[in-house]
Every structure is written in structure tokens, then in C-alpha cells.
């Protein structure tokens, strides 16, 4: 394996799947020759595959997803890019009422092999319209799969699996992950949906974290080790389906749970995972479950205020020490 960035791992997945299957094509705003993607994930793909398979679209998220849904149900495998995750709001009817429901409402006679790639999260000071984490919305819609890869290897393996899946997938990418490097297998490599991974073994407390918060949790775990605390870090990798077994097995081992996610705390990712453990593994707990998420507030433009709101290594360390 070689070390490449999260961005390059995504690009490699797209390249390999477009070479493997001629029904795979990309569409989105500014993904083609001129801009090559807002975060440069699609760099070079228009030159290689042409403008018929890397489509620069008008500035209309509803048109992007509407076109992708139509293409998917007629035999193509579109990968639609929404430039910022916040802008999925402009295509929620196509996502939640069309893509998610067509297979069911047509009695299984139609399928929607669609991937919607979009970056979520803050940390880059671009204010309330471009910094939200809305992945929990899609957990709430039956018919959608939700991927939240944190590492370059996860990004490649899950994106290739998503493109081959016959169901619509919302593929969430955190903006701060794009430049992060990691070991990634070359060539054919996929990861199954619904398979969490223990990123770090521990025995005193379990931290379940998603996307960029996995990296903050790993840094916190390393710092806490110096204080004699052994922290296990679990990365769900997909939220739908959610790997309950790995999470519960970890809680059974450590007896304590902290759940960390960047989305808002109310009715968010941390709430669902905490409820799962409370319902199915409460007898294994030696302390109350703790949740760490962004407060229920818009993300401010001010860098100090944004930093204050979003969970980080320091706030994870503080909350772990409270329950150990």
C-alpha cells in the first residue's frame, strides 16, 4: 500500500469505477475541465473521460439530483456532486421523496443506483450556509444509505462499494479530511456497508466518533494514555446501515461510552447511537453515556466562535475524564 490523501483516494475510486463500468458518470457544478471540482476531487477526470461522462451542470441542485435520479432508474450509475452539503436542502424532494422511495413504490421493479457526494462540516470559516453537518437528516429517511468515511482507505473502499450498490447512497465527506494522508490499497478494493472499525483498542472507555471527529478522538486517546487511561475509538464508517455489534461489543468491554459527532446535538448522530446502547447494552454500562456534539446553533463566521462551538481534542478529553 502507498500513502495518498483522502482527496486522491476518492478520485482513484471514481477513476477505477468509470474505467470498469461505462454506465458510471459524474455530474455537478464546476466538476469539469475548468474548475475540476470545488475541492479538486474530480481533477483530470474530464480530460480522461470527456464531457459526456463528466458533466458540468447549471447552478441548480434540484436539477442535478433530478437528472441523476432519472438516469439511475433508466440504467445508468450517476455520481452526483453537491458542492456544499448545506445545498442538499435545495434538492430534498428529489432525494427524500423520489430517490429514497422509488424502489418501494414501484414494488421492487425499479432501482436507483445513485451516489450523492457532498462535503459537510466546519473548520474553514465559511459561515452558516456552508458549514453544517446534516448527515442525521438522511439517517431518518428510509431507503437511503449513508456513508461517513474518516480515512483515505475508507473513502476509496466505500465509494467504490457505493457506486456498485443498487440503492441511493448519500456519501458524506468532511472538508477538513481532503488533505489528510493514509495508507490505501491499490487496484480492486471495496468495503462493505454496515461494517464499523475499531481504529484504536482500549479498555477503559469507548469513543464512537464519525468523520473528522475520528481524528480528534484518536488525538484525545493518545493524550489520555499519558494519564493512564486506555481509550477505544470506534468508527461506524456508515450510519445506514449501522454496525450495532461492533459498538455494543466495545461498550461491553469498556463499560463506558462517549459519542462524538459534529452535527447538532438534538436528534443527531450522537442521539441515535446513545439510544442504541441504552436500549441494547445498558446493563454493561458503569457510567452514564456522554454525548459531545455541536450546540444547536448556526455555525458562525468568526474563527474563534466557530472553534468554540465544534468539538475537538480538548473537549473530548474533558468529557472522557468526567466519566472515568
Residues belonging to the active site: 130
C-alpha span between 225 and 219 (Å, rounded): 10
C-alpha span between 98 and 86 (Å, rounded): 19
Residues 6+ positions from 59 with CB-CB distance below 8 Å: 29
Question: Quick check: 251 and 285 in contact, CB under 8 A?
Answer: yes
Q: Alpha carbon 255 to chain centroid distance? A: 27
Rounded to 5 degrees, φ, ψ at 100 are -70, -25
C-alpha span between 22 and 229 (Å, rounded): 51
| Peptide bond just before 11 cis, omega within 30 deg | no
- Count of beta carbons in the 10 Å neighbourhood of residue 193: 21
Letter string b/e over residues 276-312, b meaning 16 or more CB atoms within 10 A of that residue's CB = bbeeebeebbeeebbbbbbeeeebbeeeeebeebbbb
Based on the number of CB atoms within 10 Å of its own CB, is 228 exposed (0-12), middle (13-18) or buried (19 or more)? exposed
Cell numbers at 29, concatenated = 457544478
Q: Helix H segments across the chain?
A: 6-20, 45-49, 61-73, 92, 102-105, 135-139, 152-164, 212-225, 244-254, 269-280, 303-309, 313-323
Selection from 290, 280, 186 nearest residue 231 by Cα: 290
Amino acid at each position: 500500500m502507498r500513502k495518498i490523501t483522502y482527496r486522491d483516494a476518492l478520485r482513484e475510486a471514481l477513476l477505477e469505477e468509470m474505467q470498469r463500468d461505462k454506465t458510471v458518470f459524474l455530474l455537478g457544478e464546476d466538476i469539469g475541465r475548468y474548475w475540476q471540482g470545488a475541492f479538486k476531487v474530480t481533477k483530470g477526470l474530464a480530460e480522461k473521460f470527456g464531457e459526456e461522462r463528466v458533466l458540468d451542470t447549471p447552478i441548480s441542485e434540484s436539477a442535478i439530483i433530478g437528472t441523476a435520479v432519472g438516469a439511475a432508474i433508466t440504467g445508468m450509475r450517476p455520481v452526483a456532486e453537491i458542492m456544499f452539503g448545506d445545498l442538499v436542502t435545495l434538492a430534498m424532494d428529489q432525494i427524500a421523496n423520489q430517490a429514497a422511495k422509488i424502489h418501494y413504490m414501484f414494488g421492487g421493479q425499479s432501482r436507483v443506483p445513485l451516489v450523492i457526494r457532498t462535503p459537510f462540516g466546519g473548520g474553514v470559516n465559511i459561515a452558516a450556509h456552508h458549514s453544517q453537518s446534516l448527515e442525521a437528516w438522511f439517517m431518518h429517511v428510509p431507503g437511503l444509505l449513508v456513508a461517513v468515511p474518516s480515512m483515505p482507505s475508507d473513502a476509496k473502499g466505500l465509494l467504490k462499494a457505493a457506486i456498485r450498490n443498487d440503492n441511493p447512497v448519500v456519501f458524506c465527506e468532511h472538508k477538513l479530511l481532503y488533505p489528510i494522508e493514509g495508507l490505501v490499497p491499490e487496484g480492486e478494493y471495496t468495503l462493505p456497508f454496515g461494517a464499523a472499525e475499531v481504529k484504536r483498542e482500549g479498555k477503559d472507555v469507548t469513543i464512537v466518533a464519525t468523520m473528522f471527529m475520528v481524528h480528534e478522538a484518536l488525538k484525545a486517546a493518545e493524550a489520555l494514555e499519558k494519564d493512564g487511561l486506555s481509550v477505544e475509538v470506534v468508527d461506524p464508517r456508515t450510519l445506514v446501515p449501522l454496525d450495532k455489534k461492533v459498538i455494543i461489543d466495545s461498550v461491553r468491554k469498556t463499560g463506558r461510552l462517549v459519542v462524538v459527532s459534529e452535527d447538532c446535538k438534538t436528534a443527531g448522530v450522537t442521539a441515535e447511537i446513545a439510544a442504541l446502547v441504552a436500549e441494547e447494552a445498558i446493563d454493561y454500562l458503569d457510567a452514564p453515556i456522554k454525548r459531545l456534539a455541536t450546540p444547536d446553533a448556526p455555525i458562525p463566521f468568526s474563527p474563534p466562535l466557530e472553534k468554540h462551538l465544534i468539538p475537538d481534542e480538548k473537549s473530548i478529553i474533558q468529557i472522557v475524564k468526567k466519566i472515568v
